[in-house]
Amino acid sequence: MNGFMQTKLAILGIETSCDETAASVVLRHADGRGEILSNVVLSQLEEHRAYGGVVPEIAARAHVEALDTLIEEALLQSGHSLPELDGIAATAGPGLIGGLIVGLMTGKTIAMAAEKPLYAVNHLEGHALTARLTDGLSFPYLMLLVSGGHTQLILVKGVGAYERWGTTIDDALGEAFDKTAKLLGLPYPGGPAVEKAALAGDPKRFPLPRPLVGEARLDFSFSGLKTAVRQAATSIAPLGEQDIADICASFQHAVSRTLRDRIGRGLERFRSLHPSIDTPSLVVAGGVAANRVLRETLDGLCRDHGFRFIAPPHHLCTDNAAMIAWAGLERMAAGLPSDGLDVQPRSRWPLDAGAETLIGHGKRGAKA
């Protein structure tokens, strides 16, 4: 399928699936190049901090309060009015249902009023296609999504064509960071706090487990690691600052070794499937992609396997609406149909419909 539309297209994207309210206008040039005209994100971090995780009811209310203004702001910054747009794209899942209803309803209303096609976008597809917006990457490539709600290794074959090679069978990696932080009395969100504490720590002090290492399947598991962290902490309580640093460093070390094994196998599988691609790409996305140890691990792994490692800028790795607008643009440009106004939000919506449902997979609830 070539299908690339030879005209310039602009879409308004809306994202409300978790704790970021976001709106963005993205342009797709006739040659396929993407250009972000505006990208407004309002994080609800402060609203949820006191609870140590995302509270669905608070999230939904915050989306309702902020979304209209954010959309106005995104349009204003883009220099485009609604009639000048070619379509509306809103996240329809997976995620917290209250927030999804707010975003998708708003998208439908705008699409109807402005008589534009509506694209109900899978949030994971937004993450999966971002590297084409930022780096003009061509298909196929591998994508590792590591966020508070997801840990998935996905083969991206084309627009709408995804194969899930691995997913977590229990906690998401971001969730494991958040739970480890909570156990150690570090602030929410836990990832950045664990990374910071680990800087002064000894990664070899606690030999923590490396779940599923050595197994042929490409899935992940992090809940055992969290339990081992709890046991290590209990065994030496009360914890001093150095103990916390050592546990955090040991935790990151175990995560890094686990990922080396799991992703390394994924890279090998990609190679054997696509021997003609000289330098294939691994893309990382999701909030955990901010972690330096993780980036270095993936970067080193890619070098060892002759892969190119692509980490889009942090604000496009975490939840945003530019990726949703871009997913809509990709679908439109490929000539795929838009959605009817009766399309429903879905709290669970795997990218790869053929993939087996696993416990924990696709879960996006309280992240703590």
Footprint of Zn ion (CB under 5 A): 147, 319
Radius of gyration of the chain (CA): 20
Count of C-beta atoms within a 10 Å radius of residue 157: 12
User: Does 103 contact ligand KG4 by CB under 6 A?
Assistant: no
| Amino acid symbol at 119 | Y
| Binds ligand KG4 (CB under 6 A): choice among 86, 170, 195, 243 | 195
Sole window of 59-67, 152-160, 186-194, 266-274 interacting with ligand KG4 (rule: CB under 6 A): 186-194
User: Does 66 contact ligand KG4 by CB under 6 A?
Assistant: no
Q: Smallest gap, in angstroms, from Cβ of residue 146 to ligand KG4?
A: 8
User: Does 178 contact ligand KG4 by CB under 6 A?
Assistant: yes
Select from ligand KG4, Zn ion, none the partner in contact with residue 363, using the beta carbon and a kind-dependent cut-off of 5 to 8 Å.
none
Residue (147 or 151) nearer to Zn ion, CB: 147
Residue 239 tokens, joined = 């914890």
Q: Which residues lie across from 39 on neighbouring strands?
A: 24
How far is residue 89's CA from residue 154's CA, in Å, rounded to a whole number? 22
Residue (149 or 362) nearer to ligand KG4, CB: 149
Q: What is the DSSP string of 93-125?
A: ESS-HHHHHHHHHHHHHHHHHHT--EEEEEHHH
Give the residue among 248, 310, 223, 304 at the shortest CA–CA distance from 271: 304
Q: What is the DSSP string of 196-209?
A: HHHTTS-TTSS---
Residue (125 or 319) nearer to Zn ion, CB: 319
Residue 110 tokens, joined = 């705008």
199-238 positions binding ligand KG4, by CB under 6 A: none
Select from Zn ion, ligand KG4, none the partner in contact with residue 148, using the beta carbon and a kind-dependent cut-off of 5 to 8 Å.
ligand KG4
Residue (260 or 274) nearer to ligand KG4, CB: 260
Sole window of 98-106, 114-122, 144-152, 305-313 interacting with ligand KG4 (rule: CB under 6 A): 144-152
282-311 positions binding ligand KG4, by CB under 6 A: 286-288, 290-291
Select from ligand KG4, Zn ion, none the partner in contact with residue 189, using the beta carbon and a kind-dependent cut-off of 5 to 8 Å.
ligand KG4
At a CB cut-off of 8 Å and minimum separation 6, what does 25 contact? 10, 11, 12, 13, 36, 37, 38, 74, 75, 77, 78, 80, 85, 325
User: Does 39 contact ligand KG4 by CB under 6 A?
Assistant: no
- Residue, CB closest to Zn ion: 319
Count of C-beta atoms within a 10 Å radius of residue 113: 10
Residues that bind ligand KG4 (CB under 6 A): 18, 147-149, 174, 177-178, 189-192, 195, 286-288, 290-291, 318-319, 367
